[in-house]
Amino acid sequence: MSQLHVFDHPLIQHKLSILRDKNTGVKEFRELVGEIAMLMCYEVTRDLPVEEVEIETPVATAKVKRLAGKKMAIVPILRAGLGMVDGMVAMIPSAKVGHIGLYRDPNTLEPVEYYCKLPPDIAERDVIVVDPMFATGGSASAACTFLKEHGCKHIKLMCIIGAPPAWEKMRKDHPDVDAYVAAMDDHLNEHGYIVPGLGDAGDRIFGTK
C-alpha cells in the first residue's frame, strides 16, 4: 500500500511560508520552488541503494559508500512542474528528464494531455514525478498512468502542497506510488484550488497573471 510522506523540516516549512504569501514576487517564488524541490529531493532519495567501494584517501585506504548506479528520471508535469526540475537535477545530475504536458480543464477539472517526451529507456528508470500542486489528484494520477503505459514500474510523486482529495484519488488509482508533500492543506474551493494553498502555481512561476 502506498504511503503519504509529509515533510515538516523547518527549512522547508520556512520557505513554504514565503511561497504561500501573495506578496512574494515572481523571482523569489521561482527561486523558492527550486530550493524546496532540492530539499525535498534529499529525503525522497533516502532509500537509493549504495554500494561499498575501496578508495585511497591521501592518508589511508578507506571503504566508502557510493550510489549503486540506479538509473533515474525526473518527470515534471508541465507547466508548473518545470519549476522543480533544476533543484532536482542539481541533486541528481545523472538523471534524465522527461516531460508530460497536462492542463486542467477549468470546467471539469479533468486533466487534458497536450505534450509528452520521455527518455527512450524510461521503463528501466526509477521515476520521480514532480508538480508543485496536488489538488484533485487528476493530473498526478494521469501522469502515473501514462508512465505505467510506457513500462515504468517504480514511480514516486513529489509535490509541494497537497489536499486530501488528491491523496484519496492517488492511493486508489496507484496503490504502488508513494507521494511526498511539504504540506497537506485543508480542502479545495469551488474552482478546485487548494485552500489555503498558494494560488495558481504555473502563473506565479511564469508571471502569467
| 200 given a catalytic annotation | yes
Helices (H), the chain: 10-20, 26-44, 85-91, 138-149, 164-173, 201-206
CB of 190 to ligand URA, least distance (A): 12
Selected binder of ligand URA within 41, 135, 147, 170 (CB under 6 A) = 135
Cβ-Cβ contacts under 8 Å for 30 (sequence gap 6 or more): 83, 205
179, three cell numbers: 507521494
- Least distance CB 4 / ligand PRP (angstroms): 14
Among 137, 156, 160, 182, binds ligand PRP (CB under 6 A): 137
Helices 10-20 and 26-44, axial angle in degrees (round to 10): 150
Q: Is the Cβ of residue 7 or residue 137 nearer to ligand PRP in the bound state?
A: 137
Residue from 19, 100, 133, 142 in contact with ligand URA (CB under 6 A): 133
Instruction: Determine the angle formed by the axes of helices 164-173 and 138-149, rounding to 10 degrees.
Output: 20
Burial of 199 (0-12, 13-18, 19+ CB in 10 A): middle
- Set of cell numbers at residue 70: 540506479
Catalytic residue among 66, 105, 108, 121: 108
Min. distance of Cβ 50 from ligand PRP in angstroms? 33
| 166 near ligand URA, judged by CB under 6 A | no
Interacting positions 184-203 with ligand URA (CB under 6 A): 192-194, 197, 200-202
Catalytic residue list contains 185: no
